[in-house]
């Protein structure tokens, strides 16, 4: 029997993620019991993830766990610093077009090492960094370098906090405006792209500019 196909709207997808993160926060310290193996049978030949997550590779922020989701629920792209390069855009275009997934979340997190490394590099440039790691820093840099010219430059903790958020917003902007396919899906099909920050300290995911994304 073929499963009934219906599209989860961006708003419904966001509610599922918010509810999942509430379960995760409530269960910190317990063992999560999601991902029933029985679903694997349904997923052998098809998938219909209800949200796409562009997250950081940091081992402490696995999207499926922090949103308490199982097999087949999330289409996840992870890269240090949740940066946007062509392969990330391509992956998101693929999922949004192929699976009719209507929500994209850029999930950054507190104390992101890629953001910290970029701030460090801006302060004390090094020659020794590998070309490949530099490619990541170079993608974070435009979002955060302006902050070093503000009062935040003297407050390391506040600077780091704001830099993480600025980097998430920059990735959201690039996804909203860097792809004809995504622009068309936003305009005609109700695709929403939102930023969110995971707190390593509390486990809570805070979503940004929620209303703007749905206007
Ligand atoms: Zn990170």
- Please write the tens of the pLDDT for every residue from 126-156: 887 789 999 999 999 999 999 999 999 999 9
pLDDT surpassing 70 at residue 1: no
CA distance 124 to 108: 24
- Report the candidate in 193, 199, 124, 105 with the shortest Cα–Cα distance to residue 161: 199
Angstrom distances, CA of residue 184 to CA of 36, 145, 160, 187, 212: 35, 31, 34, 5, 17
Backbone angles phi, psi at 188, to 5 degrees: -110, -20
Q: Please give the Cα distance from 105 to 152 (Å, whole number).
A: 27
- Spacing, Cα 57 to ligand 1 middle (Å): 6
Q: What is the pTM of this model?
A: 0.89
Comparing CA positions, the residue from 38, 11, 25 lying closest to residue 68 is 25
Q: Output the CA 151–ligand 1 centroid distance in Å.
A: 24
Q: How far is the CA of 200 from the centre of ligand 1 (A)?
A: 10
Compute the radius of gyration of the chain from its Cα atoms.
Answer: 18
Q: Are 168 and 143 in contact (CB under 8 A)?
A: no
36 vs 61: which has the higher pLDDT:
61
How remote is the CA of residue 7 from the centroid of ligand 1, in Å? 31
pLDDT above 70 covers a percentage of the chain that reads 89
**For residue 166, how far is its CA from the centre of ligand 1 (angstroms)?**
13
Does the pLDDT value for residue 213 go beyond 70? Answer: no
- Examine the pLDDT at 183 and tell me if it is beyond 90: yes
Q: If you measure from the C-alpha of residue 94 to the centroid of ligand 1, how many angstroms do you get, rounded to a whole number?
A: 24
**pLDDT at 2 > cutoff 70:** no
Task: Give distance in angstroms: CA of 109 to centre of ligand 1.
Answer: 6
- Assess whether pLDDT exceeds 70 at residue 50: yes
* pLDDT-derived band at 38, boundaries 50, 70, 90: low
Contact 84, 53 (CB under 8 A): no
pLDDT at 215: 47
Residues 51-75 have pLDDT tens digits of: 999 999 999 999 999 999 999 999 9
């Amino acid at each position: 029997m073929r499963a009934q196909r219906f599209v989860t709207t961006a708003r419904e997808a966001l509610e599922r993620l918010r509810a999942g993160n509430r379960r995760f926060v409530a269960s910190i310290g317990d063992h999560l019991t999601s991902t029933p193996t029985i679903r694997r049978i349904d997923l052998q030949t098809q998938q219909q993830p209800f949200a796409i997550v562009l997250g950081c590779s940091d081992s402490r922020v696995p999207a499926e766990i922090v949103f308490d989701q199982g097999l087949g629920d999330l289409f996840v792209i992870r890269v240090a610093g949740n940066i946007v390069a062509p392969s990330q855009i391509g992956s998101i275009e693929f999922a949004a077009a192929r699976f009719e997934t209507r929500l994209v979340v850029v999930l950054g997190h507190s104390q992101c090492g890629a953001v910290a490394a970029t701030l460090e590099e801006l302060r004390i440039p090094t020659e020794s960094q590998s070309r490949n790691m530099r490619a990541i820093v170079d993608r974070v840099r435009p979002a955060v370098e302006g902050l070093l010219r503000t009062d935040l430059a003297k407050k390391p903790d506040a600077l780091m906090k704001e830099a993480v958020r600025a980097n998430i917003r920059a990735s959201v902007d690039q996804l909203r405006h860097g792809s004809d396919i995504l622009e068309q899906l936003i305009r005609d099909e109700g695709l929403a792209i939102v930023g969110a920050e995971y707190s390593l300290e509390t486990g809570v995911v805070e979503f940004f500019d929620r209303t703007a994304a749905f206007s």
